[in-house]
A and B are shown apart, each in its own frame.
Chain A
Amino acid sequence: MSVSDDPSRVAGGPALTDLPDDVSVATEEGRRLAEQLADNRRHARKLLEVRNLSTHFYTRDGVVHAVDDVSFELDYGETLGIVGESGCGKSVTALSLTRLIASPPGKIVSGQIIFDGIDVLKLSNEEMRLLRGKKIGFIFQDPMTSLNPTLTIGYQIAESAKTHLGLSRKAADDRAVELLSKVGIPRSRERMGDYPHQFSGGMRQRVMIAIALACDPMLLLADEPTTALDVTIQAQILELIRSLSDEFGTAVILITHDLGIAAGMCHRINVMYAGRIVETGLVDDIYEAPRMPYAWGLLDSLPRLDEVKGARLRTIEGMPPDLIDPTSECRFAVRCKYVHDRCRSEEPELTPRDGEGHMARCFGTEPEGWIQ
């Protein structure tokens, strides 16, 4: 069954006719996508709407609320950053979007994920499979372990093209060669028969990108794509993701713990802490005027070149809270320098701040708050 016939599609809204100007129409894919984009915008549809998503893990020690009531949206072709320290639920959020949560112990307990008008959580497993790889590409953190060591990289790239696009072996191989040169691997046809161990880390991540883009997906989920790489390689890989997503008009969700990377790549940023989104907004708003002490902390802990020599790297004191029994206080309260009594008795909601779509979860920075 084709995904687009699915009855769970959400009906479109009012029409918008502007063609977005950030899509290159030089290539065939670009043109096709531009039309599609225009069509979607006519219906004022988002590529992705996540509403009140909660994912829990049922462990021996108790139920871990890894993702807790998370909502966000993503436009066609947009790049969104999800930023937070390890264990904040950002990876689990990404895995939940494609229902790749290992079950048991994990389970998406509530919420709604609307992807391109399709209610993802209502799909059968087979329909979900058709979405993965074809409409949603995934890049994982560690390119050393994410590629199958016993299969040639040519096979691993051509595999999804064969599965989803119904290409013949020959056509799929040609597609793989094309993708390999696109991700910047020289002598791509010769290297098709090589195995992952014959590639360096950066080259492997390029192969991962080629795999993720093999079927020209609408959404690319990049889960810490550069964390395992050398700093010099990081920049190249990020640039590659940006240029290819521009070229193909692919929306990207970039998951990272590095606010600097997110700032350079993304249109908007979600800051996550302890399973919740604590601040969201345009990159500039968050970077210039973060409205949540945790985000300040993240910004402060970035090393800066203009820093006085010998100054200590600033860190956020303490550890994230136990996600097994979230208490009814602000989850950052125990580590917050500006904590008030109110923060310990109730949890703040995400409320609007200055800037388009800028929201933060903090009593202190609300208009009548004590941090200004």
Chain B
Amino acid sequence: MLGYIIRRVLWIIPVLFVVSLITFSLMHAAPGGPWDREKKLSASTIAHLNEKYGLSDPIHIQYLSWVGNMVRGDLGPSYKYIDRSVNDIVADGIGTTAHLGIMAFLLSVILGIPLGVIAALRHNKIPDYLATFVSVIGIATPSFVAAILLLVFFSVTLRWFPTHGWDGWAEPDTMVLPTIALSLFPIAQIARFTRASMLEVTRKDYVRTAQSKGLRERSIVVVHMIRNALIPVVTILGPLLAFLITGSFIIETIFSVPGIGRYYVTSIGQRDYGVIMAMTMLYAAAIAVLNLVVDVLYAYIDPRIRYS
């Protein structure tokens, strides 16, 4: 198992390398540059700026120097926010983005799994229909729509929650709406998968064996059914985490959450190369690590899986 984990961690390195290479090439292949403004800068100013930031070097030299700096922990300068380095921008926002993502993930699991389990245990009864209704709403509502509707209803009309900002646990009510808006879809997906998987497990021979042993209803459900039903659910957690991570920038934008996501779109438009590279790498690294965690978790709950 340890060998497997080490190999997977090492595998992340070439993945990130390829991701950085693709991102770098795409950005530089795209027309335009960081100095395009409404009011055109003079050719000599641009040449001067390019010289200063090394943008007139051959492309592979630029890439290698970016890699060299990154390995040393220097993500380079921002061309848009001249007074800030990319390290500052990332350091300012990453905590908030991670916090929002973790909150939304926990909420999705804590609500999604019980919803699915209850729906399956009360198959074709009212709790099942209610849970199905909730998951249909979750699937049908894009996070930006959910965010807008929550914002208008709970913040503007009812004034229960602030319309923007994020203060973490210092002011928990700032966290409520962004977290709900972000987790609506994952809740629905987890509930759907859990329900289908529970219904599948109900038909398994080993559940009949458990019944024939005269076990208590509760231990049949908890020990024999839920654990097995969660195995396929774990496999979708990886993609859902990726969804939460990359989806957070929409929510950050709508609720003005000071995370890193909201810089992404603007930095691409402005060809702020350093910020784009840093964001892409961060997101890719987070997805790779979280997928590894999910796979290890998978092996943990299914003894038939043994990585070697």
B208 within 8 A of A: yes
- Contact assessment for B212 and A132 in the assembled complex, using a CB-CB cutoff below 8 Å: yes
Give the contact stretch, choosing among A39-47, A134-142, A329-337: A134-142
Checking A150, A197, A211 against B209 with a beta-carbon cut-off of 8 angstroms, the contacting residue is: A211
B206 near A197 with CB under 8 A, answer no
* A147 is an interface residue with CB less than 8 A from chain B: yes
Asked if residues A100 and B227 are in contact (CB atoms below 8 Å), the reply is no
Contacts of A145 in B (CB 8 A): 204-206
Asked whether any CB of chain B lies closer than 8 Å to the CB of A315, the reply is no
Query: B207: shortest Cβ distance to chain A, in Å?
Result: 8
Q: Name the distance in Å between B211's Cβ and chain A's nearest Cβ.
A: 6
Size of A's binding interface in residues, CB under 8 A: 28
Q: Does B59 count as interface, using CB distance less than 8 angstroms?
A: no
Output the nearest chain A residue to B210 by Cβ-Cβ distance.
A148
- In the bound complex, do residue B206 and residue A163 qualify as a contact, i.e. CB atoms below 8 Å apart? no
Asked whether A243 is an interface residue with its Cβ less than 8 Å from the other chain, the reply is no
Q: Is B224 interfacial (CB 8 A cutoff)?
A: yes
Which residues in chain A, 192-230, are within 8 Å of chain B measured between CB atoms?
Answer: 195, 197, 208, 211, 214
**A347 adjacent to chain B (CB < 8 Å):** no
Given contacts A150-B303, A195-B303, A195-B304, whether A163 and B216 have CB atoms under 8 Å apart is yes
Judged by a CB distance under 8 angstroms, whether A16 is at the interface is no
Q: Which of A131, A146, A160, A164 contacts B206 (CB 8 A)?
A: A146
> Interface 1/0s, chain A 124-160, versus B by CB < 8 A?
0000011111100110101001111111000000011
A133 to B213, CA, bound (A): 4
CA distance A98 to B211 in the complex (A): 10
B228 within 8 A of A: yes
User: In this complex, what residue of A is CB-closest to B223?
Assistant: A151
Q: Min CB distance, A283 to chain B, in Å?
A: 27
A147 contacts which chain B residues (CB < 8 A)? 206, 209
For residue A143, which residue of chain B has the nearest CB? Answer: B205
Query: What distance in Å separates the Cβ of A317 from its nearest Cβ neighbour in chain B?
Result: 33
Chain B nearest Cβ from A126, distance in angstroms: 9
CB distance from A221 to the nearest CB of B (A): 8
Number of interface residues of B (CB under 8 A): 23
Chain B nearest CB, measured from A293 CB (Å): 35
Q: Are A160 and B208 in contact (CB under 8 A)?
A: no
- On whether the beta carbons of B215 and A163 are closer than 8 Å, the reply is yes
* Contact B213–A211 (Cβ < 8 Å): yes
Please tell me if the beta carbons of A142 and B205 are within 8 angstroms of each other in the complex.
yes
Whether B208 lies near A197 (C-beta < 8 A) is: no
Say whether B213 contacts A160, CB under 8 Å.
yes
- Complex CA gap A147/B205 in Å reads 8
Which chain A residue lies CB-closest to B225?
Answer: A148
Pairwise interchain contact A163-B208, C-beta atoms closer than 8 A? no
A25 to B225 CA separation, bound complex (whole angstroms): 41
The smallest C-beta distance from A4 to any residue of chain B, in angstroms, reads 15
Known: A148-B228, A151-B223. Is A140-B205 also a contact (CB below 8 A)?
Answer: yes
**B150 to A: closest C-beta gap in Å:** 39
User: In chain B, residues 289-308, which have Cβ atoms closer than 8 Å to a Cβ of chain A?
Assistant: 301-304
Q: How far is the CA of A347 from the CA of B210 in the complex (A)?
A: 40
| Distance (whole angstroms) from the CB of B231 to the closest CB of chain A | 8
Q: Check B205 against A150 for contact (C-beta < 8 Å).
A: no
Which one, B212, B217, B224, B301, contacts A148 given CB within 8 A? B224
- In the bound assembly, the distance between CA atoms of A47 and B217 in angstroms comes to 27
Instruction: Give the distance in Å from the alpha carbon of A134 to the alpha carbon of B212 in the complex.
Output: 10
Q: A146–B213 contact, CB under 8 A?
A: no
Please indicate the chain B residues that have their CB under 8 angstroms from the CB of A164 in the complex.
Answer: 214
Task: Using known A-B contacts A129-B216, A133-B214, A160-B215, determine if residue A148 contacts B209 with beta carbons closer than 8 Å.
Answer: yes
- Return chain A residues, CB-CB under 8 Å to B211: 100, 132
CA distance A138 to B208 in the complex (A): 10
**Complex alpha-carbon distance, A142 and B204, angstroms:** 11
Residue pair A132, B206 in contact (C-beta under 8 Å)? no
Provide the residues of chain A in CB contact with B213, threshold 8 Å. Answer: 132-133, 138, 159-160, 163, 211, 214
CA distance in complex: A159, B210 (Å): 9
Interface string of B203-244 (1 = CB under 8 A from A): 011101111111111010001100110010000000000000
Alpha-carbon distance between A78 and B206 when the two chains are bound, in angstroms:
28
On whether the beta carbons of B214 and A160 are closer than 8 Å, the reply is: yes
On whether the beta carbons of A140 and B209 are closer than 8 Å, the reply is yes
CA–CA, A151 and B222, complex, Å: 12
Q: Judging by beta carbons under 8 Å apart, are B216 and A150 in contact?
A: no
Inter-subunit contact B214/A134 (CB<8 Å):
yes
Query: In the assembly, what is the distance between CA of A125 and CA of B263, in Å?
Result: 61
Across the interface, do A146 and B303 meet the contact criterion of CB distance under 8 Å?
Answer: no
Question: Given A142-B205, A146-B205, A132–B214 Cβ distance below 8 Å?
Answer: yes
Contact between A150 and B208, CB atoms less than 8 A apart: no
* Complex CA distance for A163 and B231, rounded to whole angstroms: 26
CB pair B228 A150 closer than 8 Å: yes
CB of A101, distance to nearest CB on chain B (Å): 11
What is the CA–CA distance of A129 and B215 in the complex, to the nearest angstrom? 7
Is the CB–CB distance between A149 and B212 below 8 Å? no
Chain B residues near A159: list those with CB within 8 A.
Answer: 213, 215, 219, 223
Chain B 100-158 residues near chain A, CB threshold 8 A: none
8 tightest CB-CB pairs across the interface, nearest first?
A133-B214, A132-B214, A138-B212, A133-B213, A145-B205, A148-B206, A195-B303, A160-B213
Binding site for A on B (CB under 8 A): 204-206, 208-217, 219, 223-224, 227-228, 231, 301-304
Q: List 16 A-B contacts (CB under 8 A).
A: A129-B215, A138-B213, A140-B208, A140-B212, A142-B205, A145-B205, A147-B206, A147-B209, A148-B206, A149-B228, A150-B303, A151-B227, A163-B213, A163-B219, A195-B304, A211-B213
* Chain A residues in the interface with B (C-beta under 8 A): 98, 100, 129-134, 137-138, 140, 142, 145-151, 159-160, 163-164, 195, 197, 208, 211, 214
